[in-house]
Amino acid sequence: MNCTMDILKAACHGMNGLGVSGPLQDMTFSVSEGTTGVHVIYQFTIEPPAVSLRLSGEKDDVIEIASTDGYLYLNGSLDRENKAIHRLQVEALNVMGEKVKGPYSITINVQDINDNPPKFEKSKYYGAVWQNSHPGKPFLRVHATDRDDPTTPNAKLSYNILHHFPNPFKSMLFQIDNVTGAISTSELGSRLLNPQKQATFILVVTVKDLAGMSENALTSNIDVEITVKENIWKAPPKVSIKENSTEPHPISITQVQWNEPDAKYDLLQREWLPRFPFTIDQNGTIYVTEPLDREEKELYSFFATAKDNEGEELGRPLLILVQVEDINDNPPVCQNALTIFEVQENEGLGSNIGTLHATDMDKKNTLNSRLQFRIVDQNPKIPLDSLFIIQQEAGTFQLSSSSLNKQVASTYSVTVEVTDKVFTTLCDVKINVIDINDQIPIFEKSDYGNCTILEDTPEGEVILEIQATDADEPFTGSSQIIYQIEEGDQNKNFIIETDPQTNRGFVKISKALDFEMSSTYNLTVKAINPEPLVKGVQYNSSSTAYFRVVVVDANEGPVFSKNTYIADIFEDVPVGTLVMTVTANDPEGDQIRYTLKNNKRNWLEIDTVSGKIYTAAPLDREVEHDYRVQVTATEENKKSQSSTAIFMIHIKDVNDNPPRLAKGNHLFFCHPLHGGVKAEIQATDDDEQLYPPEFTFSLGGSENIKSDWEISRTDGTHAYLSPKHTNLEEKQYSIPLIINDNGKPPLEGALNLQVNVCRCSDEGRCFIEVENHSGMPSTGMAVGLLLGVLLFIGR
């Protein structure tokens, strides 16, 4: 090419060999905005009879053509925001200036560059939020615009809160949706915002273009002034309702109110009730729908909720407490239909006979359940009326006279009135006058000799029967016999039970016997009455008997020192490491042999003589972290006798597993690539994680790999893989990835990520063409694999 114009020399020099020339025809060009100086777009070739070209249309004093050389060029910069498309026409002229070709349509599309910062719609925003408002529910939105091309990342905006003033806590009280600009309270703010302590906050909100994913993003800031309003959505005080109300229902009992109108109110049961006696209207008024019974339920607790028109809760549910107050609506109840007391005929004046028990279902420790007792009748009334008195508050019977005589009257029927001042109940009492206890029990014989039993005699078995008699009135406390072991049974191995009809005593085993501890028991037994003897009468040798229990040895199995043995050991200990020694003893002193059972992984072995347990193979906590076996101890001379204990080792972790991928083994990106795309990977480690893992990620391989790809860590277990540019070919890439853990010592995992840069379906899933083989559809039919790996697009 021969450049004839000085103004185009530099530009022409750079075009040599680039193939940017051709004949006149309709053409479309794309040019980036903001170019400076002279920029050649294209050279049209001029063919005779044409000698020059003429350009017309939307030139805007920037787009020019060199008429005799055919260069279409810019002599300044275009601004896409002023005009995104320039439409022009070019004609070929002869020496006479007459049109010989054309006009041809020339379209210049101005490509966007990121040359406009985002701008907020307002110079300052104001908002109000209610105290304790629901976290995450927006109460204000900020909005910014960007004049750059909305179809490119240049106009993709991301919002963020830089800080707020004041900030009394380490964490933010507010949060913002980085896409929509919606501002809401955080979890912390929902709990801690209090207008009494701080009513106004200034938030500094920033907006970035390029979706906030680039250091070169353009930024704008705005102040947002937020006023915290006192929350009137508060739980009301506990409500008190008298039980069994006779007023017309429903009855209004309390009210809740959301901060703003149009809330939808509802009640939520805290505990399921077959009949829920409360309701709420749309003014927040809570009603009881029927009379309540305190004896059925004394306290009701449930929640009141407020929701918006979409059914989302506006605030936290409020706890409603309803206390049912007692009224005196229950009569006293006699504990027994007939209460029976016994009194000896020699009892003195004022002696306590017994207590009459009655109950009242009204609330305890209130006047409604206070009971008072009064005797209203006594039969027979001999030798005189009012033989008995009753304590008014306690219901305890006492003798008012010492005139009881069994020969005169052996039984008295007494009627007692029990009242709670509103209701009255009559209780029946029977008082039996019994003979005085002036006879002692006498054993049929004083020595029952030897009783020989086996050591393994089961508990509860009768080993001997004994008998004493009493001459007092039968079936009274004066004649009933209780057998007590006075001597020879320090460990309480025996008990004696009495047949109430015959007073016969049955000696039983109450605790397992041990020949090695004691082979003989010399027991002294005394027979007594539950009723005290009258003055001047005492128990003597006739009420005492003796017998000897001889225990015969039984062969017993070995006994371990513990039922369960537990040891901790690291998984990397050498084979042959001593873990623990178990011990068992044979009561008869026989030698013991140890074996292991359920040693399913053969990780352990035991010395059959000493009971020492060793590791027999390498341990692996990741396979099994609690390893449990049975240890059996067997008598060498009597193999039928053995016992078993449990041995468990807690295998402690060492860092012996390198990190690996839990997610992201197969990734893909849609071709052609766009700026800001990234795919998430997640690492894990089979070792025990006592603390949150902290993995580091890096790329291996050649410098070409690192110039095309980058890895960015997001937290201790996740990272993003993203291309560094958009010029990658459509193919599969194998990318070396190195993951390091924070163990001691640290381990490194090296692997190859398989990444497809591929054409995608409309749903954004990778489409990989498969070669045609015999039996498969013919060429031209779309056959593909859809990979279900989620692609994260930078927002």
Q: How many CA atoms lie within 13 A of 358 on its CB side?
A: 33
**CATH architecture observed for domain 333-405:** Sandwich (2.60)
Q: Taking 80 as the threshold, does the pLDDT of residue 484 lie above it?
A: yes
Q: 7-18 pLDDT, tens per residue?
A: 555 555 444 434
Rounded Cα distance between 725 and 723, Å, is 6
Highest mean pLDDT among 199-208, 559-568, 666-675: 199-208
Report the pLDDT value the prediction gives residue 652, as an integer from 0 to 100: 87
Q: Can you name the CATH fold of 5-111?
A: Immunoglobulin-like (2.60.40)
Pairing of strands 144-145, 119-120: antiparallel
Asked which of 498-502, 530-534, 552-556 is least confident by mean pLDDT, the reply is: 552-556
Region of 154 on the Ramachandran plot (φ > 0 left; ψ -120 to 50 alpha; else beta): alpha
Report the pLDDT value the prediction gives residue 514, as an integer from 0 to 100: 85
Higher-pLDDT residue of 558, 106: 106
Rounded Cα distance between 287 and 573, Å, is 70
Average pLDDT over residues 384-404: 90
Q: 637-658 pLDDT, tens per residue?
A: 755 678 899 999 998 888 778 8
Rounded Cα distance between 538 and 530, Å, is 14
Average pLDDT over residues 530-544: 91
Average pLDDT over residues 455-484: 91
Q: How many CB atoms lie within 10 A of CB 215?
A: 5
Q: Taking 60 as the threshold, does the pLDDT of residue 575 lie above it?
A: yes
The two tokens of residue 705 are: 């790999």
Could you give the 3-state DSSP secondary structure of residue 587? Answer: coil
Strand partners, 386: none
Q: Taking 50 as the threshold, does the pLDDT of residue 142 lie above it?
A: yes
Report the pLDDT value the prediction gives residue 27, as an integer from 0 to 100: 95
Say which residues have a Cβ less than 8 Å from residue 244's Cβ, sequence separation at least 6: 291, 292, 293, 327, 329
Strand boundaries in 519-603, DSSP class E: 520-528, 544-552, 559-560, 564-570, 578-581, 584-585, 592-597
pLDDT-derived band at 789, boundaries 50, 70, 90: very low
Question: CA torsion, points 782, 784, 788, 789, in degrees to nearest 10?
Answer: -110
Residues forming CATH 2.60.40.60 domain(s) in the chain? 5-111, 119-229, 239-325, 333-405, 442-552, 559-652, 660-766
Average pLDDT over residues 208-235: 93
Report how far apart, in Å, the C-alpha atoms of 681 and of each of 664, 691, 714, 723 are: 5, 21, 10, 14
The secondary structure of the chain in percent helix, strand, coil, rounded to multiples of 5, reads 5, 45, 50
Average pLDDT over residues 20-43: 92
Provide, rounded to the nearest whole percent, the portion of the chain with pLDDT above 90: 60
The two tokens of residue 66 are: 């060199």
Higher-pLDDT residue of 515, 182: 182
Report the pLDDT value the prediction gives residue 778, as an integer from 0 to 100: 38
Q: How many CB atoms lie within 10 A of CB 207?
A: 27
Q: Taking 60 as the threshold, does the pLDDT of residue 522 lie above it?
A: yes
pTM: 0.42
Query: How high does pLDDT run on average in the chain?
Result: 88
Sheet containing strand 612-615, strands side by side: 578-581, 612-615, 604-606
Q: 752-781 pLDDT, tens per residue?
A: 888 999 988 766 677 655 444 443 443 333
Asked which of 138-152, 153-167, 626-640 is least confident by mean pLDDT, the reply is: 626-640
Higher-pLDDT residue of 516, 80: 80
Q: Say if residue 59 is exposed, middle or buried (CB neighbours under 10 Å; 0-12, 13-18, 19+).
A: middle
Report the pLDDT value the prediction gives residue 167, as an integer from 0 to 100: 85
Report the pLDDT value the prediction gives residue 240, as an integer from 0 to 100: 95
Provide, rounded to the nearest whole percent, the portion of the chain with pLDDT above 70: 93
Report the pLDDT value the prediction gives residue 383, as an integer from 0 to 100: 87
Could you give the 3-state DSSP secondary structure of residue 458? Answer: coil
Q: Taking 50 as the threshold, does the pLDDT of residue 292 lie above it?
A: yes
Q: Taking 80 as the threshold, does the pLDDT of residue 526 lie above it?
A: yes
In CATH, 559-652 is 2.60.40.60: yes
CATH of 119-229 given 2.60.40.60, 3.40.50.11540, 3.30.70.141, 3.40.50.880? 2.60.40.60
Rounded Cα distance between 494 and 492, Å, is 6
The two tokens of residue 437 are: 């206890």
Q: How many CA atoms lie within 13 A of 79 on its CB side?
A: 7
Q: Say if residue 90 is exposed, middle or buried (CB neighbours under 10 Å; 0-12, 13-18, 19+).
A: buried
Return the residue matching tokens 């249309």.
Answer: 57
Report the pLDDT value the prediction gives residue 768, as an integer from 0 to 100: 57
Average pLDDT over residues 679-692: 81
Rounded Cα distance between 37 and 8, Å, is 10
Q: 696-725 pLDDT, tens per residue?
A: 899 888 888 888 889 998 888 899 989 989
* Secondary structure string (H, E, C) spanning 684-744: ECCCCCCCCCCCEEEECCCHHHHHHEEEEECCCCEEEEEECCCCCCCCEEEEEEEEECCCC
Task: Evaluate whether 467 touches 444 at the Cβ level (below 8 Å).
Answer: yes
Which CATH code is given to the segment(s) 239-325? Answer: 2.60.40.60
Rounded Cα distance between 436 and 434, Å, is 6
Report the pLDDT value the prediction gives residue 795, as an integer from 0 to 100: 33
Which CATH code is given to the segment(s) 660-766? Answer: 2.60.40.60
pLDDT-derived band at 673, boundaries 50, 70, 90: confident
pLDDT-derived band at 5, boundaries 50, 70, 90: low
In CATH, 442-552 is 2.60.40.60: yes
